[in-house]
Every structure is written in structure tokens, then in C-alpha cells.
Homo-oligomer: A and B are copies of this chain.
Amino acid sequence: MFTGALPWRRAFAAGALFIIATLTARAQAVDPLPSWNDTASKARVMAFVQAVTESGGKDFVAPTDRIAVFDNDGTLWSEQPMYFQLAFALDRVKAMAPKHSEWKTKQPFKAAIEGDMKTLAAAGEHGLLELVAASHAGLSTDEFAAVVKDWLATARHPKFKRPYAELTFAPMVELLAYLRANGFQTWIVSGGGIEFMRVFAEQAYGVPPQQMVGSSLELKYELRGGKPVLVQQPKVAFIDDKAGKPVGIHKAIGKRPIAAFGNSDGDFQMLEWATSAPGARLGLIVHHDDAEREYAYDRKSPFGKLDRGLDEAGPRGWTVVSMKNHWKQVYAPAR
């Protein structure tokens, strides 16, 4: 009996060793960026992370200073055929139209109601802001969040027929998690509205509301039925785009990021700000060149135009990611 137990013990010990060996091998083999093909851009990202996290290394950065900033539209999720927030604003203007008969003849509202995209495009940034302000204002921040949540649950993207919040880029969601696993604080710095993004960004990207910089309307503190609320006003408070991005970053974070991720010339100054200081820095541009799986556009696109960034990425040492060639998948499969 006693000696008979030995083979069992040996088998157990061997099994335990096997399990330990397997787990160790798996830990070493785990790819933190499985949606990225093994190209130079993936290697560049991983080399940067290794450099700033290597204790005692010449490029080591303390965790408290590992700030990474991400544009949203076109960088973390799609932005075609129009910014998703604009699609939301148009849907909302249509829904509000019965109570605004004056919009039947007033541009850009008339074009919005009629779906006249040509006139809308011609209205430019000012016209679009007018739509956003009119469709967002008057609601308290809580009411607005509820309206956005409802829209995200019901609206479908015209090309992919999926909820907009599913059209986040799987490789970038992996990248956010990979950076956080390496002690980074990840921030979203977007031209999009901060109130709009906060509704879905924590679930979609793992970025909490307090790590978000965006455009905003003025807010007014008032009492409704004795309870305080914050009401969005029809007046733009801040546009977080182009040279506004470093300003927004500094106001919110007060530290200079060491890594910045964008896709359009609206992100140029953000990348410049993050990468033009001493030490290891990472600037990365997502290039939309995948007409089949997503969209192909750059220098002449009305949304997400990328022109100067394409020309200067090389000399500035920024990594340009080809969505078509560098990404195994664009979106995670439908849930």
C-alpha cells in the first residue's frame, strides 16, 4: 500500500510540473496585441513600451508620468460617412422638428431634416456646430446622457448595420489595455463632445469619465424643482481640435503626454506637443486605407482629413499604421 502510493505521487508531481511549465510558456507567448499583424508599427509600439517601462533603462518613465492620449473619431472608432455624433445630432433635429416649424425654412436645419448632405457639408464647421448646439442644448447633463444612451441602443450604422458603439477598432482597444497593463494612464482627447463620449467610452474603451477631454457647450447650474442640475447652453465653451488639443490636454492633465494617437490633421498639434520633448516619445497615426473592411480616405476627406500629417509623419518619426496591412481585424466580431 505505502509503496503503491509512490507512482501516484510521481504522477501528481509530474502533472503539476507540466501545468506550471505550460502556464509559464503561455505567459511568455501571450500576444498583447493579437489584432495587429507583425509589422514595423506593432514592433515600434512594443519597443516604446519596453523602453519607458524598463527599470533602470535610459528611457525609463515613472508610472505617474506615463500619460497616453487618444483621439476618438477615426482613431478609436469610425467617423464615416460622418462623425457619429453628427449622425446623432441629425437624428435628434429630425425628432425635434415637429416642435420647430421655423426649421422648415432655416438652414442648416432644413438640410438636416431633408437629409441634404451637400448643403450640410457646405454649411461648414459653423453650421454643424449650430446643429449640435440646437439639438443638445436645454437638456440637463443627466437628460442628455439618457438621450444618447437611447440613440446608441437603437441607431444603426448605414454601411455596417451595427450599433455605432460596436464600431470601435479592436486593435486600438487592445492597445489601450496594453498600455494600462504597463502602468500608463490612458486619456481620450477628442474634437467630439465630452458629454456624448462619456456615455459609452468607459464600457467601450475602459477609460473613465474623468480621463476625457472633449469639446463642450457652456453649462449652467440651476435648480429645477428644488434639485440642482447642470443644463447645456446653446453656446460653445471649448473646441478641442487642432491647437485646442494641447490646450485641452494641459488644462485637464497638467502633464505633457509621452504618447499620442490620432488619425487626422486635427490631431497634428497633439502629436507635436507629445513628441517634441526630450526622452522616448511615441506618435502614431491611424491611416484609413481599407475601403473593404472600413473606408479609404485621407487628403480630401470632409471628415478626418489627413494631409499635413501624412507629409510630416516621416521626418517627425511618427508611425503611420495602415489599417489594411497592419491590422488583422478592424472591428471585433458582432456580439
Binding site for B on A (CB under 8 A): 64, 141, 185, 194, 198, 208-212, 216, 219-221, 227-228, 230, 243-244, 246-247, 250-255, 269, 272-273, 276
Q: Which residue of B is nearest A255, CB measured? A: B209
Say what secondary structure dominates the interface of chain A: helix
Residues of B within 8 A of A230 (CB): 246-247, 250
A216 to B237, CA, bound (A): 14
Question: Given known contacts A198-B254, A228-B276, A254-B198, is B247 in contact with A221 (CB within 8 Å)?
Answer: yes
A230 to B269, CA, bound (A): 12
Question: Given known contacts A250-B230, A276-B227, is B219 in contact with A64 (CB within 8 Å)?
Answer: no
**19 other A-B residue contacts (CB within 8 Å) besides A216-B251, A227-B276:** A185-B210, A194-B251, A198-B254, A208-B254, A209-B253, A209-B255, A212-B254, A219-B251, A220-B243, A220-B247, A221-B243, A221-B273, A228-B246, A228-B269, A228-B273, A228-B276, A230-B246, A230-B250, A252-B252
A202 to B218, CA, bound (A): 29
Q: Which residue of B is nearest A187, CB measured? A: B210
Nearest Cβ in chain B — how far from A317, in angstroms?
Answer: 15
Q: Are A141 and B276 in contact (CB under 8 A)?
A: no
Question: Given known contacts A227-B276, A228-B273, is B247 in contact with A210 (CB within 8 Å)?
Answer: no
A selection of 22 A-B contacts at a CB cut-off of 8 Å is: A64-B208, A141-B250, A185-B210, A198-B254, A209-B253, A209-B255, A210-B253, A210-B254, A210-B255, A219-B250, A220-B243, A220-B247, A221-B243, A221-B246, A227-B276, A228-B269, A228-B272, A228-B273, A230-B246, A230-B247, A230-B250, A252-B252
Residues of B within 8 A of A64 (CB): 208
Residues of B within 8 A of A251 (CB): 194, 216, 219
Residues of B within 8 A of A253 (CB): 209-210
